[in-house]
Chains A and B, each alone.
Chain A
Amino acid sequence: MSSKYDVLVIGGGNAALCAAISARRGGASVLVLEAAPKFYRGGNTRHTRNMRCAHDAATEILTGPYSEEEFWEDLLRVTGGQTDEVLARHMIRESKDILNWIVEHGVRWQPSLGGTLSLGRTNSFFLGGGRAMLNALYLTAERLGVAVEYDAEVTDLVIEDGMFLAARLKRPVKGETEIRATSLVAAAGGFEANIEWLKQYWGEAADNFLIRGTPYNRGSVLKILLDKGVQEVGDPTQCHAVAIDARAPKFDGGIITRHDSVVFGIVVNKHAQRFYDEGEDIWPKRYAIWGRLVAAQPDQIAYIIFDSTVVTSFMPTLFPPIAGQTIAELAGKLALDPVALEKTITEFNAAVRPGTFDHTILDDCVTEGITPPKTHWARKIETPPYLAYPVRPGITFTYLGTRVNKEARMLMKDGKPSANMFAAGEIMAGNVLGKGYAAGMGMTIGSVFGRIAGREAAKHARN
């Protein structure tokens, strides 16, 4: 541990491993420091399942072409233009080769999973999911001679004039130490598991957030870098949040606590009032807005309410729906005001206009005369048992990050590129994703910029 490495990679997820492999293949000696224990290694990567890459033709696992231009348009739409076009287009171009590069390093693809047909053309799925992908990258990295240390939390970085010199770390057993390296790749993620930090922007509401990933995504490396002169990028109040089951654990509930049944019913807050058009948009776009919507409600709780006719219309859920033979009984179980809930549902049912239901398109089932309206897929809730899922905001990742250039090199506050510090993955995702999200984009950012960062870090170390 006293020896000096060419490249130090902080973090242990997709971006970190791609950087480590790429740097090692570029001839550098590489050490990876993962703050989490081995089982929880990889940050949010362990919960991912696919990556969005541009490709010119259908493949064995992708149902059709997805051009660079189409990828760019999708990115432009989800971010509302809040993206760095040069970086984003560079990433999209590089994403094409990542489809092969990642396979060369042991990751295996499969066609889109059951229940995700809408992503079959654009997104490549990892066989066995994100942890399988991580396992493959770790095996490859270790085979190539990359050193990996777990439970190794970086507590400080020695940086002088934009030049990284050493990292201080704390390990539960081996104690504190300092590690020197010629180049640094920071790939240590965001601060979504750091409730105190979230509170700076969200106030006490953050106490009611559930964190979809591990408790180790605390953003400490991001904080150190920003404190030591690296230029920040992205809106600190922005995070990717979805509605997840309120019964989920505080941390690391992952994919299985999500709910995608909003379109099949209505969503009410703790006062049994509707607050947003449940039929606004089609999956997966609608999926990404409900976390923030629920976060804005009192006590950050809401209830998806539907009836027994739609139970089999969406994927089976981890937690069973809460059921009542009457609206009042259901309200009682949810601790909602029964009179208020009955009134909300009666008014909603009365506003539903006849139409032809089809949840795969923006259909013509609408309400009339209520606010907010439900503009698609509106059907009466009238067949008992009545069912509900309680939901809370599930924070996936944050957008605040370090600004980088096309070489994944960090830019300092004065705009000058750092001599030897690079960033990849969620810690710099805000360069590309100013807001919004499209499935699989986080992994694209991680792999593409990880590979670039590793290559550039190795190049710097050689010179």
Chain B
Amino acid sequence: MHGTRILDEADRLMTVCNSCRYCEGLCAVFPAMEMRRAFSDGDLNYLANLCHSCGACYVDCQFSPPHEFNVNVPKTLAVARAESYAAYAWPRAVSSAFARNGLVISITAALSMAAFILGFAALNDRSVLFGVHTGPGAFYKLMPHNAMAALFGAAFLYAILALVMSVRAFWRDIGTPIGGRADGGSIFQAIRDAGELRYLDGGGVGCYNEDDKPTDRRKLYHHLTFYGFLLCFAATSVATLYHYLLGREAPYPWWDLPVVLGTLGGIGLIVGPIGLLAAKMWRDPALLDEFSYGMDVGFIAMLFLTGVTGMLLLVLRETAAMGPLLALHLGAVFALFITMPYGKFVHGLYRFAALVRYAQERRTAA
């Protein structure tokens, strides 16, 4: 017996699946399962995070409901996965943020954006807030660069600390010996598998979402979202280097690298999340983890909000709307950062850790 009802159910399913094994060619979950005969909590959390929710094993399973064996691996692992985020969250006291996560994220985002608006309004003269600013340093008329860097640097560092601590707890629990390090080859393999979403393809035909036809485009939307996020991150990083190394201050002209990267990324962060949200709404309820709806939608909405406010800021930066839009964009980004360790963002890190573990296991078994 495990700690939770969902882990008990995951254990039951893995016992059923391990005596069948028809799905072993579909993804990484089933080969990893076959390396075990019994399943600890850590094993089940590992398998849960290895699952990409492509739905193929549900559609292909002769024992899925209404069969009395009631095998629903994607949904069970989705619930277990969501519960694992809370179980490994750091610090423990904040793990309750995963319950009613959508509410937590919305309130944080609203408060954060309100704080920037009010802060801008309190610290700036009305003529400055609604003024038209152009040329280098225009943004910093509203908020000094050092204040911006200090605030976001602190938020970012906190997020990294909390994420590292959480993933460390997960990594230890999924069976790596304490202090065990991942080898370079396994990490490289995991980067490839995660980078191309190798296991989000139904074993080669595409994913299942709303019905039994493999036509799901979640892989594409996820690529747009993820690489959009990375491009935006790259834009900020390049801008930071420009600022400190070259002494060039934002905003930059439209053809300059930070703006090009940010624009491409922003488009990804708008189109990708819309696609993901639509796929979520159309998803077959049999496959959907409805308990995590708030968390999933909350994160998608935050990414979308970041993309939209960023793009609006780019388009309207030479108008009087720049001040309020900058406040909204910074508020969105700040909220995104500080909620990262307590929302859907962590799925990427846990899944990556699980893929590293899987690559290691494959190497050891080979």
Q: Which residues of A contact B (CB under 8 A)?
A: 39, 46-47, 49, 108, 110-111, 113-115, 125-132, 135, 139, 249, 252, 254-256, 312, 315-318
Contacts and interface: CB of A to CB of B under 8 A. Distances in A.
Contacts of B22: 49, 113, 126, 128-130, 132, 255
B125 interface: no
Given A127-B26, A128-B25, A316-B19, A135 B59 contact: yes
A249 B19 contact: no
A135 B55 CA distance: 14
Given A256-B16, A312-B37, A129 B63 contact: no
A335 B161 CA distance: 60
25 contacts: A39-B66, A39-B67, A108-B204, A108-B205, A113-B21, A113-B24, A114-B24, A115-B21, A125-B25, A127-B203, A128-B25, A128-B26, A129-B20, A129-B23, A129-B60, A129-B61, A131-B61, A132-B56, A252-B62, A252-B67, A254-B20, A254-B62, A256-B69, A315-B18, A316-B18
A132 B19 contact: no
Interface string B196-224: 00000001110000001100000000000
Contacts of A256: 16, 19-20, 63, 69
B21 A318 contact: no
A144 B118 CA distance: 62
Interface string B102-143: 000000000000000000000000000000000000000000
* From A49, A125, A254, A256, residue with most partner B Cβ within 10 Å: A256
Contact of A128 (B15, B23, B63, B213): B23
B68 A249 contact: yes
A150 to B, nearest CB: 13
Contacts of B31: 114
Contacts of A249: 68
A131 B18 contact: no
A113 B19 CA distance: 11
Contact of A317 (B19, B203, B204): B19
Interface in B1-53: 15-16, 18-26, 31, 34, 37
A128 B60 contact: yes
Contacts of B67: 39, 252
Given A128-B26, A128-B56, A315-B18, 5 more contacts: A114-B34, A115-B21, A128-B57, A135-B59, A252-B62
Interface in B49-86: 56-57, 59-63, 66-69
A127 B30 CA distance: 13
A317 B66 CA distance: 22
Contacts of A114: 21, 24, 31, 34
A318 B19 contact: yes
* From A47, A125, A126, A132, residue with most partner B Cβ within 10 Å: A132
B25 A127 contact: yes
B63 A254 contact: yes
A110 B63 CA distance: 21
Nearest to A315: B19
Nearest to B35: A114
Nearest to A46: B62
Contacts of B60: 128-129, 131-132, 135
Nearest to B61: A131
A128 B69 CA distance: 18
A256 B60 CA distance: 15
Nearest to A50: B22
A126 B212 CA distance: 17
A82 to B, nearest CB: 31
A318 B13 CA distance: 10
Given A127-B25, A127-B203, A318 B16 contact: yes
3 shortest A-B CB distances, which residue pairs?
Answer: A129-B22, A110-B25, A128-B60
A132 B18 CA distance: 18
B267 to A, nearest CB: 34
Contacts of A130: 22, 62
A134 to B, nearest CB: 9
Nearest to A213: B62
A255 B34 contact: no
Contacts of A49: 22
Contacts of B63: 254, 256
A107 to B, nearest CB: 11
Contacts of B57: 128
Nearest to A249: B68
Contacts of A135: 59-60, 212
A39 B71 CA distance: 13
Contacts of A111: 25
A99 B67 CA distance: 31
A304 B23 CA distance: 28
Contacts of B26: 127-128
A119 B330 CA distance: 61
Contacts of B15: 316, 318
* From B25, B26, B205, B213, residue with most partner A Cβ within 10 Å: B25
A132 B37 CA distance: 25
A41 to B, nearest CB: 11
A356 to B, nearest CB: 26
Nearest to A142: B213
* From A129, A130, A254, residue with most partner B Cβ within 10 Å: A129
Nearest to A139: B213
A57 to B, nearest CB: 22
Contacts of A254: 20, 62-63
Contacts of B25: 110-111, 125, 127-128
Given A256-B16, A316-B15, A129 B62 contact: yes
* From B15, B62, B68, residue with most partner A Cβ within 10 Å: B62
B161 to A, nearest CB: 41
A126 B204 CA distance: 13
A129 B61 CA distance: 8
A46 B68 CA distance: 15
Nearest to B212: A135
A108 B25 CA distance: 10
B62 A47 contact: yes
A49 B61 CA distance: 12
Contacts of B203: 108, 127-128
A132 B24 CA distance: 12
